[in-house]
Amino acid sequence: MTSKTRFLSIPYVVWMAIFVVVPIIMVVVYAFTAHDGSFTVDNFRGMTDYISVFGRSFYLALIATVLCIILGYPLALVLSREGPRLQRVFVMLIMLPMWMNFLLRTYAWMSILEDTGLLNALLTKLGLPPIKIINTSGAVVLGMVYNYLPFMVLPIYSVVSKLDRRLVEAAEDLGANPFMVFLKLIFPLSLPGVLSGITMVFVPSVSTFAISQLLGGSKNLLLGDLIEMQFLGSAYNPHLGSAIALVMMIIVVICMYVMNKFGEGEETAVVL
């Protein structure tokens, strides 16, 4: 490898400039201009109508992320304690659903959760009262947890399964009970996995539009729906859409920055 090899990076640098940097600059420019191209901040002022949508999106995404940790963390721990062959099978089983189109899987949840759907049919058979869940924010959270749970489990699992067993034994020899072992040893060491899991669940949850449209009905509009409507939907206005996307992006970046500071700036994010 000679020093000339470094010129191989030029094509991709140009590519990134055109297809990554310029598009983001365009979002910023669109957010600050009106239809005739003049500078304006009206797009941001007009956003105050949508504060409730911002609130709902971040609130539901937060609940979904917390639920993913509550379900995903123990799952990753349980997996890492199985034998090697079972571990392999279970990890495969967690990844396998991702190979079926997520829209279809979410659509299948519609069939399950509908008022006259399969879940209520089952409940009636068991003599229980039917539940109303479709078109509620609960159904949207369920859809988020369902779709993004693997993104929480896999990074945590990949950290926990590489954990040195001798450390645990050492802690036990020194008199730590299982709870202390978890609190003082396993949890701090698994934090990088949890942090990248949080990012991988929160970002798609807060910006989704398909899940909320399928499971949330018309009442549970999320940021993703709002942006989609401004670009390809009924309320065509890419300037307002860009402004919403920009604000969402900035809030997400700030959240992630604060969280990573909180996690002592772990730079070794786990990439699948």
Q: Which residues within the stretch 192-251 sit at the binding site for another protein (CB under 8 A)?
A: 199, 203-204, 206-207, 209-210, 213-214, 224, 227-228, 231-232, 238, 241-242, 245, 248-249
Residue 190 or 199: the one with the smaller Cβ distance to another protein is 199
Q: Which of 37, 55, 97, 188 binds another protein (CB under 8 A)?
A: 97
Q: Which of 13, 41, 131, 170 binds another protein (CB under 8 A)?
A: 13
The Cα 57–Cα 76 span in angstroms is: 27
Q: Which of 34, 41, 70, 96 binds another protein (CB under 8 A)?
A: 96
Q: Which of 62, 66, 69, 108 binds another protein (CB under 8 A)?
A: 108
Contact status: 149 vs another protein (CB under 8 A) = yes
Contact status: 258 vs another protein (CB under 8 A) = no
Three-state secondary structure along the chain?
CCHHHHHHHHHHHHHHHHHHHHHHHHHHHHHCECCCCCECCHHHHHHHHHHHHHHHHHHHHHHHHHHHHHHHHHHHHHHHCCCHHHHHHHHHHHHHHHHCCHHHHHHHHHHHHCCCCHHHHHHHHCCCCCCCCCCCHHHHHHHHHHHHHHHHHHHHHHHHCCCCHHHHHHHHHCCCCHHHHHHHHHHHHHHHHHHHHHHHHHHHHHCCCHHHHHHCCCCCCCHHHHHHHHHCCCCCCHHHHHHHHHHHHHHHHHHHHHHHHHCCCCCCCCCC
Contact status: 3 vs another protein (CB under 8 A) = yes
Q: Which of 41, 103, 254, 258 binds another protein (CB under 8 A)?
A: 103
Q: Which of 34, 41, 116, 177 binds another protein (CB under 8 A)?
A: 116
CB 218 → another protein: shortest distance, Å? 12
Residue 191 or 249: the one with the smaller Cβ distance to another protein is 249
Residue 26 or 34: the one with the smaller Cβ distance to another protein is 26
Residues 17 to 76: which contact another protein by CB under 8 A? Answer: 18-24, 26-27, 30, 71, 74-75
Residue 64 or 149: the one with the smaller Cβ distance to another protein is 149
